[in-house]
Protein backbone atom coordinates (compact mmCIF):
# COMPACT_ATOMS: atom_id res chain seq x y z
CA UNK A 1 0.00 0.00 0.00
CA UNK A 2 1.34 3.44 -0.89
CA UNK A 3 0.86 6.46 1.31
CA UNK A 4 0.21 10.08 0.63
CA UNK A 5 1.70 12.99 2.65
CA UNK A 6 0.05 16.15 3.90
CA UNK A 7 -0.02 18.90 1.33
CA UNK A 8 0.63 22.53 2.08
CA UNK A 9 -0.97 25.36 0.09
CA UNK A 10 0.50 28.67 -0.99
CA UNK A 11 -0.03 30.09 2.49
CA UNK A 12 2.05 28.34 5.14
CA UNK A 13 -0.92 28.56 7.47
CA UNK A 14 -3.14 26.68 5.05
CA UNK A 15 -1.91 23.12 5.50
CA UNK A 16 -3.95 20.09 4.63
CA UNK A 17 -3.24 16.85 6.44
CA UNK A 18 -1.52 14.06 4.61
CA UNK A 19 -3.53 11.23 3.21
CA UNK A 20 -0.99 8.87 3.03
CA UNK A 21 -1.72 6.47 0.25
CA UNK A 22 -1.65 7.80 -3.22
CA UNK A 23 -4.74 6.98 -5.28
CA UNK A 24 -4.27 5.58 -8.20
CA UNK A 25 -22.12 42.82 11.36
CA UNK A 26 -25.78 43.42 10.32
CA UNK A 27 -29.22 43.92 11.93
CA UNK A 28 -30.82 40.94 13.65
CA UNK A 29 -33.68 40.95 11.15
CA UNK A 30 -31.31 40.74 8.21
CA UNK A 31 -29.26 38.10 9.99
CA UNK A 32 -32.34 35.96 10.68
CA UNK A 33 -33.52 36.33 7.11
CA UNK A 34 -30.18 35.33 5.61
CA UNK A 35 -29.68 32.56 8.15
CA UNK A 36 -32.97 31.02 7.12
CA UNK A 37 -31.90 31.04 3.48
CA UNK A 38 -28.78 28.94 4.09
CA UNK A 39 -29.00 25.45 2.67
CA UNK A 40 -29.08 22.88 5.46
CA UNK A 41 -28.45 19.20 4.84
CA UNK A 42 -31.45 16.98 5.54
CA UNK A 43 -29.17 14.04 6.24
CA UNK A 44 -28.50 13.43 9.93
CA UNK A 45 -24.98 12.27 10.74
CA UNK A 46 -24.27 11.21 14.30
CA UNK A 47 -20.57 11.38 15.15
CA UNK A 48 -20.92 10.38 18.81
CA UNK A 49 -18.05 8.12 20.00
CA UNK A 50 -18.86 4.59 21.04
CA UNK A 51 -16.86 5.06 24.25
CA UNK A 52 -17.91 8.20 26.10
CA UNK A 53 -15.45 7.53 28.91
CA UNK A 54 -12.26 7.25 26.84
CA UNK A 55 -11.31 10.91 27.20
CA UNK A 56 -11.72 11.39 30.92
CA UNK A 57 -10.23 14.41 32.64
CA UNK A 58 -7.31 12.28 33.84
CA UNK A 59 -6.57 10.96 30.33
CA UNK A 60 -6.71 14.46 28.83
CA UNK A 61 -4.38 15.80 31.49
CA UNK A 62 -1.92 12.92 31.03
CA UNK A 63 -1.98 13.38 27.27
CA UNK A 64 -1.25 17.10 27.48
CA UNK A 65 1.41 16.62 30.13
CA UNK A 66 3.23 14.11 27.93
CA UNK A 67 3.04 16.40 24.89
CA UNK A 68 4.38 19.35 26.89
CA UNK A 69 7.20 17.37 28.52
CA UNK A 70 10.36 18.97 27.11
CA UNK A 71 12.54 16.52 29.07
CA UNK A 72 11.22 13.73 26.88
CA UNK A 73 11.99 15.64 23.70
CA UNK A 74 15.48 16.60 24.82
CA UNK A 75 16.32 13.02 25.71
CA UNK A 76 14.84 11.51 22.54
CA UNK A 77 16.71 13.97 20.35
CA UNK A 78 20.00 12.56 21.64
CA UNK A 79 19.16 8.94 20.82
CA UNK A 80 21.12 7.24 18.06
CA UNK A 81 19.80 3.63 18.12
CA UNK A 82 21.44 1.15 15.78
CA UNK A 83 18.56 -1.31 15.95
CA UNK A 84 14.88 -1.52 16.82
CA UNK A 85 15.85 -3.49 19.90
CA UNK A 86 18.08 -0.67 21.12
CA UNK A 87 15.32 1.86 20.40
CA UNK A 88 12.76 -0.19 22.36
CA UNK A 89 15.18 -0.41 25.27
CA UNK A 90 15.52 3.40 25.29
CA UNK A 91 11.73 3.85 25.13
CA UNK A 92 11.20 1.50 28.05
CA UNK A 93 13.94 3.12 30.11
CA UNK A 94 12.66 6.67 29.56
CA UNK A 95 9.09 5.68 30.42
CA UNK A 96 9.85 3.08 33.08
CA UNK A 97 7.97 4.87 35.84
CA UNK A 98 5.36 6.58 33.68
CA UNK A 99 1.92 5.66 32.39
CA UNK A 100 1.22 4.14 28.98
CA UNK A 101 0.19 7.49 27.51
CA UNK A 102 3.72 8.81 28.09
CA UNK A 103 5.18 5.74 26.41
CA UNK A 104 2.82 6.05 23.44
CA UNK A 105 3.80 9.72 23.08
CA UNK A 106 7.52 8.94 23.26
CA UNK A 107 7.09 6.53 20.35
CA UNK A 108 4.99 9.09 18.45
CA UNK A 109 7.57 11.82 18.98
CA UNK A 110 10.55 9.62 18.01
CA UNK A 111 8.89 8.68 14.72
CA UNK A 112 8.05 12.31 13.97
CA UNK A 113 11.69 13.32 14.38
CA UNK A 114 13.39 10.36 12.72
CA UNK A 115 11.18 9.12 9.88
CA UNK A 116 10.63 11.21 6.76
CA UNK A 117 7.95 10.79 4.16
CA UNK A 118 9.28 9.01 1.08
CA UNK A 119 8.18 11.46 -1.59
CA UNK A 120 10.32 9.82 -4.29
CA UNK A 121 8.60 6.48 -3.80
CA UNK A 122 5.17 8.05 -3.55
CA UNK A 123 5.33 10.25 -6.64
CA UNK A 124 7.06 7.58 -8.75
CA UNK A 125 4.60 4.96 -7.49
CA UNK A 126 7.52 2.65 -6.66
CA UNK A 127 6.76 1.83 -3.06
CA UNK A 128 8.87 -0.95 -1.55
CA UNK A 129 8.20 -3.16 1.46
CA UNK A 130 6.91 -1.13 4.39
CA UNK A 131 7.75 -3.41 7.30
CA UNK A 132 9.02 -1.91 10.54
CA UNK A 133 12.64 -3.05 10.24
CA UNK A 134 13.01 -1.71 6.69
CA UNK A 135 11.55 1.65 7.70
CA UNK A 136 13.80 1.87 10.76
CA UNK A 137 16.91 1.25 8.67
CA UNK A 138 16.01 3.60 5.80
CA UNK A 139 14.41 6.39 7.82
CA UNK A 140 11.81 6.81 5.08
CA UNK A 141 8.25 5.58 4.77
CA UNK A 142 4.83 6.13 3.33
CA UNK A 143 1.76 5.79 5.54
CA UNK A 144 1.82 2.00 5.73
CA UNK A 145 5.42 2.13 6.94
CA UNK A 146 4.63 4.73 9.61
CA UNK A 147 1.73 2.57 10.79
CA UNK A 148 3.78 -0.64 10.78
CA UNK A 149 6.64 0.92 12.71
CA UNK A 150 4.32 2.42 15.32
CA UNK A 151 2.62 -0.96 15.78
CA UNK A 152 5.94 -2.77 16.18
CA UNK A 153 7.32 -0.31 18.73
CA UNK A 154 4.10 -0.29 20.76
CA UNK A 155 3.54 -4.03 20.86
CA UNK A 156 7.13 -4.71 21.85
CA UNK A 157 6.96 -1.98 24.50
CA UNK A 158 3.85 -3.31 26.19
CA UNK A 159 1.14 -1.28 24.44
CA UNK A 160 -1.52 -3.10 22.44
CA UNK A 161 -1.58 -1.61 18.92
CA UNK A 162 -3.08 -2.55 15.57
CA UNK A 163 -2.93 -1.23 12.02
CA UNK A 164 -5.99 0.34 10.43
CA UNK A 165 -6.41 0.76 6.69
CA UNK A 166 -8.99 2.80 4.88
CA UNK A 167 -9.72 5.98 2.95
CA UNK A 168 -7.92 9.23 3.81
CA UNK A 169 -8.71 12.73 2.58
CA UNK A 170 -5.15 13.77 1.91
CA UNK A 171 -2.91 14.55 -1.03
CA UNK A 172 -4.88 14.33 -4.26
CA UNK A 173 -8.27 14.30 -2.56
CA UNK A 174 -10.97 16.39 -4.21
CA UNK A 175 -13.91 17.47 -2.06
CA UNK A 176 -16.08 17.05 -5.15
CA UNK A 177 -15.27 13.36 -5.63
CA UNK A 178 -18.05 10.83 -5.03
CA UNK A 179 -15.99 7.72 -4.23
CA UNK A 180 -12.53 6.19 -3.76
CA UNK A 181 -11.14 3.65 -6.21
CA UNK A 182 -9.41 1.79 -3.38
CA UNK A 183 -7.96 2.21 0.08
CA UNK A 184 -5.22 4.82 0.21
CA UNK A 185 -4.16 5.30 3.81
CA UNK A 186 -3.09 3.57 7.04
CA UNK A 187 -3.04 4.58 10.69
CA UNK A 188 -3.28 2.96 14.15
CA UNK A 189 -5.53 2.21 17.10
CA UNK A 190 -3.93 1.60 20.49
CA UNK A 191 -5.70 0.06 23.48
CA UNK A 192 -4.28 1.11 26.83
CA UNK A 193 -4.39 -0.79 30.08
CA UNK A 194 -7.31 1.43 31.11
CA UNK A 195 -9.37 -0.58 28.61
CA UNK A 196 -10.01 2.33 26.23
CA UNK A 197 -8.94 2.62 22.58
CA UNK A 198 -7.45 5.67 20.83
CA UNK A 199 -6.40 6.75 17.36
CA UNK A 200 -2.77 7.39 16.41
CA UNK A 201 -1.93 9.08 13.10
CA UNK A 202 1.87 9.19 13.04
CA UNK A 203 2.18 10.02 9.34
CA UNK A 204 0.17 13.24 9.43
CA UNK A 205 1.51 13.94 12.90
CA UNK A 206 5.07 14.08 11.55
CA UNK A 207 4.91 16.57 8.70
CA UNK A 208 3.55 17.44 5.29
CA UNK A 209 4.51 17.66 1.64
CA UNK A 210 4.70 21.11 0.08
CA UNK A 211 1.93 21.47 -2.48
CA UNK A 212 4.16 23.33 -4.96
CA UNK A 213 7.59 21.69 -4.58
CA UNK A 214 6.45 18.19 -3.47
CA UNK A 215 9.21 18.34 -0.86
CA UNK A 216 8.59 16.88 2.59
CA UNK A 217 8.69 19.25 5.55
CA UNK A 218 8.81 17.94 9.11
CA UNK A 219 6.19 19.38 11.43
CA UNK A 220 5.08 17.87 14.71
CA UNK A 221 1.26 17.88 14.92
CA UNK A 222 0.16 16.63 18.37
CA UNK A 223 -3.49 16.74 17.30
CA UNK A 224 -2.99 13.29 15.79
CA UNK A 225 -1.82 11.75 19.05
CA UNK A 226 -4.82 10.15 20.80
CA UNK A 227 -7.14 11.83 18.31
CA UNK A 228 -10.83 11.78 19.21
CA UNK A 229 -13.04 9.54 17.00
CA UNK A 230 -15.47 12.39 16.26
CA UNK A 231 -12.50 14.40 14.94
CA UNK A 232 -10.65 11.61 13.16
CA UNK A 233 -13.68 10.58 11.09
CA UNK A 234 -13.66 13.81 9.07
CA UNK A 235 -10.61 12.66 7.10
CA UNK A 236 -10.24 8.94 7.95
CA UNK A 237 -12.75 6.24 7.02
CA UNK A 238 -11.59 2.71 8.01
CA UNK A 239 -12.55 -0.34 5.95
CA UNK A 240 -13.84 -1.96 9.11
CA UNK A 241 -16.81 -0.03 10.57
CA UNK A 242 -15.79 -1.04 14.09
CA UNK A 243 -12.54 0.86 13.64
CA UNK A 244 -14.43 4.15 13.37
CA UNK A 245 -14.90 3.97 17.15
CA UNK A 246 -18.28 5.67 16.64
CA UNK A 247 -21.59 4.66 18.21
CA UNK A 248 -23.20 4.85 14.76
CA UNK A 249 -20.62 4.17 12.01
CA UNK A 250 -21.07 6.34 8.95
CA UNK A 251 -21.18 5.31 5.29
CA UNK A 252 -18.88 6.31 2.46
CA UNK A 253 -21.56 8.72 1.20
CA UNK A 254 -21.79 10.41 4.57
CA UNK A 255 -18.00 10.51 4.89
CA UNK A 256 -17.68 12.37 1.60
CA UNK A 257 -20.39 14.81 2.70
CA UNK A 258 -18.34 16.00 5.67
CA UNK A 259 -16.35 19.23 5.15
CA UNK A 260 -12.58 19.18 4.75
CA UNK A 261 -11.32 19.90 8.26
CA UNK A 262 -7.84 20.86 9.51
CA UNK A 263 -6.50 20.31 13.07
CA UNK A 264 -6.92 24.02 13.91
CA UNK A 265 -10.68 23.55 13.62
CA UNK A 266 -10.61 21.33 16.70
CA UNK A 267 -7.77 23.18 18.43
CA UNK A 268 -9.94 26.30 18.52
CA UNK A 269 -13.13 24.35 19.24
CA UNK A 270 -15.09 25.63 16.23
CA UNK A 271 -18.60 24.53 15.34
CA UNK A 272 -20.16 24.80 11.89
CA UNK A 273 -23.71 26.13 12.15
CA UNK A 274 -24.25 26.12 8.40
CA UNK A 275 -23.94 24.34 6.07
CA UNK A 276 -24.57 21.31 8.29
CA UNK A 277 -22.74 18.09 7.36
CA UNK A 278 -21.79 19.34 3.92
CA UNK A 279 -18.51 19.75 2.07
CA UNK A 280 -20.17 22.21 -0.31
CA UNK A 281 -21.56 25.72 0.00
CA UNK A 282 -24.39 27.03 -2.17
CA UNK A 283 -25.45 30.54 -3.08
CA UNK A 284 -27.99 32.15 -0.79
CA UNK A 285 -31.38 32.11 -2.53
CA UNK A 286 -31.65 35.03 -4.99
CA UNK A 287 -28.27 36.37 -3.85
CA UNK A 288 -24.83 36.48 -5.47
CA UNK A 289 -22.89 35.13 -2.50
CA UNK A 290 -22.62 32.04 -0.29
CA UNK A 291 -22.64 32.03 3.50
CA UNK A 292 -20.86 29.92 6.12
CA UNK A 293 -21.81 30.33 9.79
CA UNK A 294 -19.25 29.25 12.40
CA UNK A 295 -19.58 29.42 16.17
CA UNK A 296 -16.47 29.92 18.29
CA UNK A 297 -16.00 28.88 21.90
CA UNK A 298 -14.95 32.37 23.05
CA UNK A 299 -14.59 35.89 21.68
CA UNK A 300 -10.78 35.72 21.56
CA UNK A 301 -10.99 33.49 18.50
CA UNK A 302 -10.72 35.34 15.21
CA UNK A 303 -11.62 33.97 11.78
CA UNK A 304 -10.35 35.00 8.36
CA UNK A 305 -10.37 33.41 4.94
CA UNK A 306 -10.52 33.78 1.19
CA UNK A 307 -12.10 32.50 -1.98
CA UNK A 308 -9.96 30.89 -4.67
CA UNK A 309 -10.73 29.73 -8.18
CA UNK A 310 -10.13 26.24 -9.57
CA UNK A 311 -6.53 27.13 -10.45
CA UNK A 312 -5.80 28.24 -6.88
CA UNK A 313 -5.84 31.99 -7.59
CA UNK A 314 -7.25 34.11 -4.76
CA UNK A 315 -10.30 36.13 -5.73
CA UNK A 316 -9.72 39.78 -4.87
CA UNK A 317 -12.73 41.12 -3.02
CA UNK A 318 -14.25 37.64 -2.81
CA UNK A 319 -14.75 37.39 0.96
CA UNK A 320 -16.25 39.27 3.87
CA UNK A 321 -15.87 37.65 7.29
CA UNK A 322 -17.22 39.29 10.41
CA UNK A 323 -18.87 38.78 13.78
CA UNK A 324 -22.61 38.93 14.17
CA UNK A 325 -23.61 42.09 16.04
CA UNK A 326 -25.80 40.32 18.57
CA UNK A 327 -23.75 37.16 19.10
CA UNK A 328 -20.05 37.90 19.54
CA UNK A 329 -19.10 34.25 19.06
CA UNK A 330 -20.93 33.75 15.74
CA UNK A 331 -18.91 34.47 12.62
CA UNK A 332 -20.63 35.20 9.33
CA UNK A 333 -18.39 34.27 6.39
CA UNK A 334 -19.65 35.57 3.04
CA UNK A 335 -18.06 34.60 -0.28
CA UNK A 336 -18.91 36.25 -3.59
CA UNK A 337 -17.72 34.72 -6.89
CA UNK A 338 -17.08 37.15 -9.78
CA UNK A 339 -18.65 34.77 -12.30
CA UNK A 340 -19.98 31.19 -12.54
CA UNK A 341 -17.36 28.50 -11.99
CA UNK A 342 -15.76 26.16 -9.46
CA UNK A 343 -14.30 27.76 -6.34
CA UNK A 344 -12.82 26.75 -3.00
CA UNK A 345 -13.53 28.46 0.31
CA UNK A 346 -10.73 28.38 2.90
CA UNK A 347 -11.38 29.65 6.42
CA UNK A 348 -8.63 30.28 8.97
CA UNK A 349 -8.77 30.52 12.76
CA UNK A 350 -6.47 32.05 15.36
CA UNK A 351 -6.49 33.39 18.89
CA UNK A 352 -5.49 36.92 19.83
CA UNK A 353 -2.52 37.25 22.16
CA UNK A 354 -1.83 39.93 24.75
CA UNK A 355 -0.52 42.24 22.02
CA UNK A 356 -3.84 41.85 20.19
CA UNK A 357 -2.04 39.92 17.44
CA UNK A 358 -3.53 36.84 15.84
CA UNK A 359 -1.59 34.02 14.18
CA UNK A 360 -3.96 31.92 12.09
CA UNK A 361 -3.98 28.41 10.68
CA UNK A 362 -6.29 26.82 8.12
CA UNK A 363 -9.39 25.43 9.82
CA UNK A 364 -11.90 24.28 7.19
CA UNK A 365 -12.35 24.16 3.45
CA UNK A 366 -15.49 23.93 1.31
CA UNK A 367 -16.27 23.53 -2.38
CA UNK A 368 -18.30 26.39 -3.85
CA UNK A 369 -19.58 25.56 -7.33
CA UNK A 370 -21.69 28.21 -9.05
CA UNK A 371 -23.67 27.39 -12.19
CA UNK A 372 -25.13 30.88 -12.58
CA UNK A 373 -25.51 34.12 -10.65
CA UNK A 374 -29.10 35.21 -9.98
CA UNK A 375 -28.06 38.87 -9.87
CA UNK A 376 -25.07 41.05 -10.71
CA UNK A 377 -21.76 39.96 -9.14
CA UNK A 378 -20.72 41.69 -5.93
CA UNK A 379 -17.37 42.02 -4.18
CA UNK A 380 -16.10 43.11 -0.80
CA UNK A 381 -13.41 45.53 0.35
CA UNK A 382 -10.51 44.18 2.36
CA UNK A 383 -11.38 44.32 6.05
CA UNK A 384 -9.12 44.34 9.12
CA UNK A 385 -10.39 43.28 12.54
CA UNK A 386 -10.26 46.92 13.69
CA UNK A 387 -13.14 47.56 11.32
CA UNK A 388 -15.43 45.85 13.81
CA UNK A 389 -13.68 47.18 16.91
CA UNK A 390 -14.43 50.72 15.75
CA UNK A 391 -17.96 49.88 14.62
CA UNK A 392 -17.33 51.05 11.04
CA UNK A 393 -20.19 50.92 8.54
CA UNK A 394 -19.60 51.31 4.80
CA UNK A 395 -22.19 53.59 3.18
CA UNK A 396 -20.62 53.96 -0.28
CA UNK A 397 -19.78 51.94 -2.31
CA UNK A 398 -22.07 49.09 -1.31
CA UNK A 399 -21.01 45.49 -1.99
CA UNK A 400 -17.95 46.44 -4.01
CA UNK A 401 -14.22 46.08 -3.62
CA UNK A 402 -13.74 48.59 -6.42
CA UNK A 403 -14.39 52.32 -6.61
CA UNK A 404 -16.28 53.61 -9.62
CA UNK A 405 -14.86 56.68 -11.32
CA UNK A 406 -17.21 59.56 -12.02
CA UNK A 407 -18.51 59.93 -15.57
CA UNK A 408 -17.92 63.69 -15.18
CA UNK A 409 -14.43 64.38 -16.50
CA UNK A 410 -14.36 67.63 -14.51
CA UNK A 411 -14.53 65.74 -11.19
CA UNK A 412 -10.90 64.82 -10.41
CA UNK A 413 -11.59 62.68 -7.35
CA UNK A 414 -13.61 59.67 -6.18
CA UNK A 415 -15.42 59.12 -2.91
CA UNK A 416 -15.88 56.57 -0.12
CA UNK A 417 -18.40 57.15 2.64
CA UNK A 418 -18.31 55.43 6.03
CA UNK A 419 -20.04 55.86 9.38
CA UNK A 420 -18.42 55.31 12.78
CA UNK A 421 -18.97 55.82 16.48
CA UNK A 422 -18.83 59.44 17.66
CA UNK A 423 -15.48 58.97 19.42
CA UNK A 424 -13.77 57.53 16.31
CA UNK A 425 -11.71 59.58 13.88
CA UNK A 426 -11.10 58.50 10.28
CA UNK A 427 -8.09 59.20 8.05
CA UNK A 428 -7.03 57.84 4.67
CA UNK A 429 -4.04 56.98 2.51
CA UNK A 430 -3.87 56.59 -1.26
CA UNK A 431 -1.10 54.34 -2.60
CA UNK A 432 0.19 54.14 -6.17
CA UNK A 433 0.16 50.39 -6.87
CA UNK A 434 2.88 50.67 -9.52
CA UNK A 435 5.43 52.22 -7.15
CA UNK A 436 3.97 51.27 -3.73
CA UNK A 437 4.31 54.90 -2.66
CA UNK A 438 1.69 57.06 -1.01
CA UNK A 439 0.24 59.91 -3.06
CA UNK A 440 1.12 63.17 -1.30
CA UNK A 441 -1.98 65.24 -0.53
CA UNK A 442 -4.04 62.73 -2.47
CA UNK A 443 -6.72 62.37 0.22
CA UNK A 444 -9.20 64.58 2.05
CA UNK A 445 -11.43 63.21 4.79
CA UNK A 446 -14.42 65.45 5.58
CA UNK A 447 -17.10 64.82 8.17
CA UNK A 448 -20.57 65.55 6.83
CA UNK A 449 -22.55 66.53 9.94
CA UNK A 450 -25.93 66.53 8.20
CA UNK A 451 -25.53 62.96 6.92
CA UNK A 452 -23.41 61.85 9.91
CA UNK A 453 -20.85 60.20 7.61
CA UNK A 454 -17.17 60.50 6.86
CA UNK A 455 -16.65 61.66 3.29
CA UNK A 456 -13.31 60.28 2.11
CA UNK A 457 -12.08 61.85 -1.14
CA UNK A 458 -9.23 60.48 -3.25
CA UNK A 459 -7.49 62.34 -6.08
CA UNK A 460 -5.29 60.09 -8.25
CA UNK A 461 -1.96 61.51 -9.31
CA UNK A 462 -2.03 59.93 -12.76
CA UNK A 463 -4.15 57.81 -15.09
CA UNK A 464 -3.77 54.24 -16.33
CA UNK A 465 -2.69 52.56 -13.07
CA UNK A 466 -4.60 51.18 -10.05
CA UNK A 467 -4.51 52.76 -6.61
CA UNK A 468 -5.05 51.25 -3.16
CA UNK A 469 -7.38 53.35 -1.00
CA UNK A 470 -7.00 52.56 2.70
CA UNK A 471 -9.01 53.99 5.58
CA UNK A 472 -7.61 54.21 9.10
CA UNK A 473 -9.39 54.76 12.42
CA UNK A 474 -8.58 55.63 16.00
CA UNK A 475 -10.40 56.79 19.08
CA UNK A 476 -9.74 60.26 20.46
CA UNK A 477 -7.83 58.86 23.43
CA UNK A 478 -5.55 56.71 21.23
CA UNK A 479 -2.23 57.79 19.80
CA UNK A 480 -2.12 55.38 16.88
CA UNK A 481 -4.47 54.85 13.94
CA UNK A 482 -5.21 51.36 12.65
CA UNK A 483 -6.17 50.18 9.15
CA UNK A 484 -9.85 49.27 8.92
CA UNK A 485 -10.71 48.76 5.25
CA UNK A 486 -9.17 48.97 1.79
CA UNK A 487 -10.62 49.48 -1.69
CA UNK A 488 -9.13 49.49 -5.18
CA UNK A 489 -9.44 52.33 -7.65
CA UNK A 490 -8.99 50.67 -11.02
CA UNK A 491 -6.96 52.36 -13.79
CA UNK A 492 -8.67 55.49 -15.07
CA UNK A 493 -8.97 55.81 -18.87
CA UNK A 494 -7.36 58.88 -20.42
CA UNK A 495 -10.73 60.19 -21.60
CA UNK A 496 -12.28 59.98 -18.11
CA UNK A 497 -10.15 62.59 -16.34
CA UNK A 498 -9.52 66.07 -17.68
CA UNK A 499 -6.85 67.08 -15.16
CA UNK A 500 -5.34 65.67 -11.97
CA UNK A 501 -5.39 67.65 -8.74
CA UNK A 502 -4.16 67.49 -5.16
CA UNK A 503 -5.91 68.46 -1.95
CA UNK A 504 -4.58 71.03 0.54
CA UNK A 505 -2.19 69.80 3.18
CA UNK A 506 -4.27 68.72 6.18
CA UNK A 507 -3.18 68.92 9.83
CA UNK A 508 -4.30 66.82 12.78
CA UNK A 509 -6.88 69.25 14.29
CA UNK A 510 -8.88 68.99 11.06
CA UNK A 511 -9.54 65.28 11.71
CA UNK A 512 -9.77 65.51 15.48
CA UNK A 513 -12.53 68.14 15.33
CA UNK A 514 -14.37 66.40 12.45
CA UNK A 515 -14.10 69.38 10.10
CA UNK A 516 -15.70 69.71 6.68
CA UNK A 517 -13.91 71.66 3.95
CA UNK A 518 -16.53 72.85 1.49
CA UNK A 519 -14.37 74.99 -0.79
CA UNK A 520 -11.87 75.24 -2.32
CA UNK A 521 -10.99 71.54 -2.54
CA UNK A 522 -8.09 72.01 -4.92
CA UNK A 523 -4.89 72.34 -2.93
CA UNK A 524 -3.24 74.52 -5.57
CA UNK A 525 -4.63 78.06 -5.86
CA UNK A 526 -4.01 80.46 -8.70
CA UNK A 527 -1.60 83.16 -7.58
CA UNK A 528 -2.97 86.70 -7.21
CA UNK A 529 -6.54 85.41 -7.43
CA UNK A 530 -9.44 85.78 -5.05
CA UNK A 531 -10.92 82.52 -3.75
CA UNK A 532 -13.98 81.85 -1.66
CA UNK A 533 -13.25 79.82 1.47
CA UNK A 534 -15.93 77.85 3.35
CA UNK A 535 -15.19 75.30 6.06
CA UNK A 536 -17.12 73.86 8.98
CA UNK A 537 -14.95 73.68 12.11
CA UNK A 538 -16.85 72.45 15.20
CA UNK A 539 -15.66 73.95 18.48
CA UNK A 540 -13.65 76.73 16.81
CA UNK A 541 -13.70 80.22 18.31
CA UNK A 542 -12.00 81.94 15.37
CA UNK A 543 -9.65 81.40 12.45
CA UNK A 544 -6.84 83.50 11.07
CA UNK A 545 -5.02 83.25 7.78
CA UNK A 546 -1.49 83.76 6.53
CA UNK A 547 -0.70 84.59 2.93
CA UNK A 548 2.93 84.06 1.97
CA UNK A 549 3.77 83.71 5.70
CA UNK A 550 2.14 87.06 6.57
CA UNK A 551 -1.00 87.39 8.70
CA UNK A 552 -3.79 89.06 6.77
CA UNK A 553 -4.93 92.42 8.07
CA UNK A 554 -8.18 92.85 9.93
CA UNK A 555 -10.05 90.95 12.58
CA UNK A 556 -10.00 87.19 12.87
CA UNK A 557 -12.89 85.33 11.19
CA UNK A 558 -15.81 84.22 13.36
CA UNK A 559 -18.10 81.25 12.68
CA UNK A 560 -21.83 81.40 11.95
CA UNK A 561 -24.45 79.47 13.95
CA UNK A 562 -23.51 76.27 12.07
CA UNK A 563 -19.78 76.56 12.88
CA UNK A 564 -19.05 77.52 9.27
CA UNK A 565 -16.34 80.03 8.43
CA UNK A 566 -17.12 81.83 5.19
CA UNK A 567 -15.20 84.52 3.32
CA UNK A 568 -12.90 85.58 0.49
CA UNK A 569 -9.12 85.26 0.50
CA UNK A 570 -6.72 87.25 -1.67
CA UNK A 571 -4.10 84.72 -2.81
CA UNK A 572 -0.44 85.73 -2.94
CA UNK A 573 2.56 84.15 -4.67
CA UNK A 574 3.50 81.16 -2.48
CA UNK A 575 0.95 79.74 -0.04
CA UNK A 576 -2.16 80.26 2.03
CA UNK A 577 -2.42 78.71 5.50
CA UNK A 578 -5.49 78.48 7.75
CA UNK A 579 -5.03 78.59 11.53
CA UNK A 580 -7.73 77.91 14.11
CA UNK A 581 -8.27 78.79 17.76
CA UNK A 582 -10.62 76.57 19.74
CA UNK A 583 -12.74 77.45 22.75
CA UNK A 584 -10.25 76.08 25.23
CA UNK A 585 -9.03 78.69 27.70
CA UNK A 586 -5.62 80.15 26.87
CA UNK A 587 -5.60 78.26 23.57
CA UNK A 588 -3.30 79.37 20.80
CA UNK A 589 -3.69 79.10 17.06
CA UNK A 590 -3.19 75.65 15.54
CA UNK A 591 -2.52 74.81 11.91
CA UNK A 592 -5.62 73.45 10.14
CA UNK A 593 -4.73 73.26 6.44
CA UNK A 594 -2.45 74.83 3.85
CA UNK A 595 -2.68 75.62 0.13
CA UNK A 596 0.10 76.22 -2.37
CA UNK A 597 -0.09 78.47 -5.43
CA UNK A 598 0.66 78.21 -9.10
Q: Show the 3-state SS of 42-55.
A: CCCCCCCECCCCCC
Beta-ladder partners of 13: none
pLDDT tens-digit readout, 313-356: 999 999 999 988 888 899 999 999 999 999 999 999 998 775 55
Q: Give the Cα separation of 22 and 181 in Å (integer).
A: 11
Q: What is the pLDDT of residue 420?
A: 95
Q: What is the pLDDT of residue 543?
A: 94
The DSSP H or E segment spanning 370 is strand 358-370
Whether cis (ω within 30° of 0) applies to the bond prior to 397 is yes
Q: What is the pLDDT of residue 175?
A: 93
Q: Which residues of the chain have pLDDT under 50?
A: 1-41
Residue (of 133, 238, 229) closest to 180 by Cα position: 238
Q: What is the pLDDT of residue 154?
A: 98
Residue (of 513, 541, 397) closest to 458 by Cα position: 397
pLDDT tens-digit readout, 173-215: 999 999 999 999 999 999 999 999 999 999 999 998 888 888 9
Fold assignment, 381-502: Immunoglobulin-like (2.60.40)
Let me know if domain 268-379 sits in CATH 2.60.40.10. yes
Whether cis (ω within 30° of 0) applies to the bond prior to 92 is no
Domain extent listing, the chain: 57-246, 268-379, 381-502, 504-597
CB 421 within 8 A of CB 390: yes
Q: What is the pLDDT of residue 16?
A: 38
Q: What is the pLDDT of residue 430?
A: 97
Q: Give the Cα separation of 508 and 80 in Å (integer).
A: 65
Q: What is the pLDDT of residue 325?
A: 81
> CA torsion angle for 476, 480, 484, 487 (degrees, to 10)?
110
Within a 10 A sphere around the Cβ of 191, how many other Cβ atoms? 15
All residues at 6 or more sequence positions from 187 whose CB lies less than 8 Å from its CB, including other chains: 143, 147, 163, 164, 166, 168, 199, 200, 201, 202, 203, 236
Task: Report helix angle 84-94 to 143-155, nearest 10.
Answer: 60
Q: Residue 444: helix, strand or coil by DSSP?
A: strand
Q: Give the Cα separation of 525 and 182 in Å (integer).
A: 76
Q: What is the pLDDT of residue 10?
A: 29
> CA torsion angle for 285, 290, 291, 292 (degrees, to 10)?
130
Let me know if domain 57-246 sits in CATH 3.10.620. yes
Q: Give the Cα separation of 103 and 159 in Å (integer).
A: 8
In Å, how far are 80, 108, 174, 262 from 221, measured between CA atoms? 23, 10, 23, 11
* DSSP single-letter state for residue 504: P
Q: Give the Cα separation of 490 and 53 in Å (integer).
A: 59
Is it true that 381-502 and 504-597 share their CATH fold? yes
Q: What is the pLDDT of residue 5?
A: 46
Q: What is the pLDDT of residue 32?
A: 40
Task: Report helix angle 84-94 to 70-77, nearest 10.
Answer: 150
In the chain, what is the greatest distance between 2 CA atoms, to the nearest angstrom? 100
Q: Give the Cα separation of 427 and 454 in Å (integer).
A: 9
CB 272 within 8 A of CB 294: yes
CATH node for 504-597: 2.60.40.1930
Amino acid sequence: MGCNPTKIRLSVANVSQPNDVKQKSESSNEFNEQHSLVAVSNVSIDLSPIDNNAFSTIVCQQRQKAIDNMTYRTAIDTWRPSSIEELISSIQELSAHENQIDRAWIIFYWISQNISYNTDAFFSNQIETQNAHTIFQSGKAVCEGYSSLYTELCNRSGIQCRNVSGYGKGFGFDVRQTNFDKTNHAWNIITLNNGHSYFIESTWGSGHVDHLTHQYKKQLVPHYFLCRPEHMIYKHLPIDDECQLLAHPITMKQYLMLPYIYPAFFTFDLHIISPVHSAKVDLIKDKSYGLVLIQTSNNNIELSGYLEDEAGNKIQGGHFIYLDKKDQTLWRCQFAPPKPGKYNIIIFAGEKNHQDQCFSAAAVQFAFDVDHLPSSPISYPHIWSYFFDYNIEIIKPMNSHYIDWSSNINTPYCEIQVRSSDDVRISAVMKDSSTSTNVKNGTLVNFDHEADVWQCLFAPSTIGIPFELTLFAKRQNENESHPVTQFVLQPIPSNALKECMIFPEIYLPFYNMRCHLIEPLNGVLQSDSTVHFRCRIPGAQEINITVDDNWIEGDAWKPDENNIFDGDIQVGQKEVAIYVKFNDENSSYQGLLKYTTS
